[in-house]
Homo-oligomer: A and B are copies of this chain.
């Protein structure tokens, strides 16, 4: 949490009470609907990098306000402490650490229209406008704000591929709606390479831009229909009106270039609403228009909002929890965030833009994009495998389509709208695919999937995988972040092996299980931690186990320290325990992690918060670590730390998220943890029991079964497991076998204020 950004504790409280919940229509029963618990502002302040605007579950459109285009700390375009809104754009990333998107800005203005946003430190210039959180609200499928500059109120809602904007204007001779095709979230680096805009008729425009950003070659199109024909319109290019030219005719109805704006002008009466609905497509303007017209056929704003709200009710009902209001808000907002990405990336026609920039038709699946796999393989996709099986199948097929389109014959690393960003390390599409398939996800060609995961793991070029396969580790003299890569490859290889095993491919199983043991090669027995090793087998010297520098080319870890990464052997925690000298030593070492302060002073760690010593919950390398106590037979220590994190790093406030939500991974951690178990090793056949944080939860598994968790006696004090009954039997091991979950059943915790140190000491991993 960036505490320094909160104006005052009182201010935050006040804001949360007054402004954070829009007044949604009540359900027919008069009872709250699950979607009512969604708090879209959660994570918009500080490092969460979420956005407050409306989105359908996994929607292609994320319609929302942008307050910032350059800062990576505001990668979603909206920071709660910013005091001005630039405009409203149709696409956003949720919780990433790198900005992109922010396509197609729409902004109402009154008076002489401005074509440039103006500086953030002087919101009186340009088209940007000051606003107050008191005039702002957000709910499932809905966002509203009053703009102080124009006096116009803007409301947003959205369907899957098209959004709608209702602007309520004051009376004005000079009201206008700007479309700025030049606006994107630049992160100070990205550029609009080309764009065009066309005035199709007196109330319809279409347009396009090609952006070289984090996604290096990204094409996106839009179509916008206006509820009122333009009184007049004007296209601008580089600030100049595109007008009739008597030397040689040039149409005033379309333009191309790198810096285009369109202004629709109106004379408005007081409180006159003008609506704009906007469809998007990565394929063509024609498809954007088709997406728009097929999804939003009329001008009924409330109908669109209600349809999306119903979608959220439906999605959230996959887990019903019993908890206090605030915890329910936190829980369902976590589900909301977990279900924002990956995003549908195909048109109504099933066409989508592939990694090869060809237009493909998704046959037999729905194509998704935005796979933040280094994050989401950990808990998000394992959650999908249980309760979003159909979508997980589509996502796996999307990963395979990417593989088919890759000149490198690689599954995605971090894929973004028809592009590979090569962001982060490992080949974590593998655990996503294998976990899904082993958990019963249907509709995937398993042989094709196996070919893709094996080919990816055997790639001759990617990040020294070939050297690793030969040598047993990634040598730091040949490859950056070599220790993290070694550890993550070894885990991914374990996943390939599990798939090979399930297919009866014995030789492959043996081969990849051998590679899964490669982690052992980079633990230096002299210090008992993971350490860089060169191609000759020498340990990296000098070596500081608390060293962190994400920008250093000599770093052998990926956004982490040796002390953080040394816990990363999810596929063989007993092996790691053995390296560390047994359970007690292991647990003692783990205790110490929560006390170190050394790395906190390192360069480049500002954007990783949520720190308890050197346990940094704000970034993924720490996410599984607390659960390792259970492997050591000391689950009560996990209980204490888990509740500490749940209570201090999550919540229902804008600043509640301690780190980048990373396309839902932070939130998926919350969901699993609140339910009392977590997938420390996705693709394995067990989960690790931690300590539940909701009194009761009913999971509607995708196979139609229902799994119910109860936490008898749970309270803020009663966080320790006293006993467990699993499917009616006493259960003493701190693991939940998938076999006990998959057919539905019950997991009944009895909670108390003190650890029952006899429970969970039998830490043998289920076979």
Task: Establish whether residues B196 and A193, one from each chain, have CB atoms under 8 Å apart when the complex forms.
Answer: no
Task: From the candidates B208, B217, B247, B284, name the one contacting A196 in the complex (CB within 8 A).
Answer: B217
A553 to B248, CA, bound (A): 10
Write the A237-254 contact mask toward B (1 if CB under 8 angstroms, else 0).
Answer: 000000010111111111
Task: Establish whether residues A254 and B407, one from each chain, have CB atoms under 8 Å apart when the complex forms.
Answer: yes
Q: Which residues of B contact A254 (CB under 8 A)?
A: 407
- Chain B proximity of A419: nearest CB distance (Å): 9
- CB nearest neighbor in B for A254: B407
Task: From the candidates B286, B356, B413, B479, name the one contacting A198 in the complex (CB within 8 A).
Answer: B356
Q: How many residues of A are counted as interface, with CB atoms below 8 angstroms from the partner's CB atoms? A: 44
Task: Establish whether residues A256 and B356, one from each chain, have CB atoms under 8 Å apart when the complex forms.
Answer: no
Task: Establish whether residues B210 and A358, one from each chain, have CB atoms under 8 Å apart when the complex forms.
Answer: no
- CB nearest neighbor in B for A358: B286
A254 to B284, CA, bound (A): 24
In this assembly, does A81 line the interface, its C-beta being within 8 Å of a C-beta of chain B? no
Task: Establish whether residues A407 and B253, one from each chain, have CB atoms under 8 Å apart when the complex forms.
Answer: yes
B-contacting residues, A392-430, CB 8 Å: 407-408, 413, 420, 422-423
In this assembly, does A216 line the interface, its C-beta being within 8 Å of a C-beta of chain B? yes
Task: Establish whether residues B198 and A210, one from each chain, have CB atoms under 8 Å apart when the complex forms.
Answer: no
Task: Establish whether residues B407 and A199, one from each chain, have CB atoms under 8 Å apart when the complex forms.
Answer: yes
Write the A520-560 contact mask toward B (1 if CB under 8 angstroms, else 0).
Answer: 00000000000000000000000000000000010000000
In this assembly, does A447 line the interface, its C-beta being within 8 Å of a C-beta of chain B? no
In this assembly, does A480 line the interface, its C-beta being within 8 Å of a C-beta of chain B? yes
Q: Which residues of B contact A210 (CB under 8 A)?
A: 194, 210
Task: Establish whether residues A252 and B461, one from each chain, have CB atoms under 8 Å apart when the complex forms.
Answer: yes
- Chain B proximity of A188: nearest CB distance (Å): 18
Task: Establish whether residues B479 and A246, one from each chain, have CB atoms under 8 Å apart when the complex forms.
Answer: yes
Task: Establish whether residues A217 and B479, one from each chain, have CB atoms under 8 Å apart when the complex forms.
Answer: no
The verdict on A285 contacting B408 (CB below 8 Å), with A248-B423, A463-B249 known, is no
- Chain B proximity of A264: nearest CB distance (Å): 15
A461 to B723, CA, bound (A): 82
Task: Establish whether residues A408 and B246, one from each chain, have CB atoms under 8 Å apart when the complex forms.
Answer: no
Write the A198-211 contact mask toward B (1 if CB under 8 angstroms, else 0).
Answer: 11100000101010
- Chain B proximity of A214: nearest CB distance (Å): 12
In this assembly, does A148 line the interface, its C-beta being within 8 Å of a C-beta of chain B? no
In this assembly, does A602 line the interface, its C-beta being within 8 Å of a C-beta of chain B? no
Task: From the candidates B286, B407, B478, name the one contacting A200 in the complex (CB within 8 A).
Answer: B407
In this assembly, does A16 line the interface, its C-beta being within 8 Å of a C-beta of chain B? no
Task: From the candidates B217, B357, B480, name the one contacting A285 in the complex (CB within 8 A).
Answer: B357
B-contacting residues, A172-203, CB 8 Å: 193-194, 196, 198-200
A199 to B252, CA, bound (A): 41
A359 to B199, CA, bound (A): 18
- Chain B proximity of A654: nearest CB distance (Å): 32
- Chain B proximity of A284: nearest CB distance (Å): 5
A256 to B194, CA, bound (A): 14
Write the A351-391 contact mask toward B (1 if CB under 8 angstroms, else 0).
Answer: 00000111100000000000000000000000000000000
Beyond the given pairs A198-B356, A249-B463, A251-B422, 4 more chain A to chain B contacts, judged by CB atoms under 8 angstroms and listed by A's residue number, are A244-B461, A246-B464, A246-B478, A284-B359
A-B contact pairs, 24 of them (CB 8 A): A193-B194, A194-B194, A194-B210, A196-B217, A196-B357, A198-B407, A199-B407, A200-B407, A206-B356, A208-B357, A216-B256, A244-B461, A246-B464, A246-B480, A247-B480, A248-B423, A249-B463, A251-B407, A251-B408, A253-B407, A285-B356, A285-B357, A286-B356, A286-B358
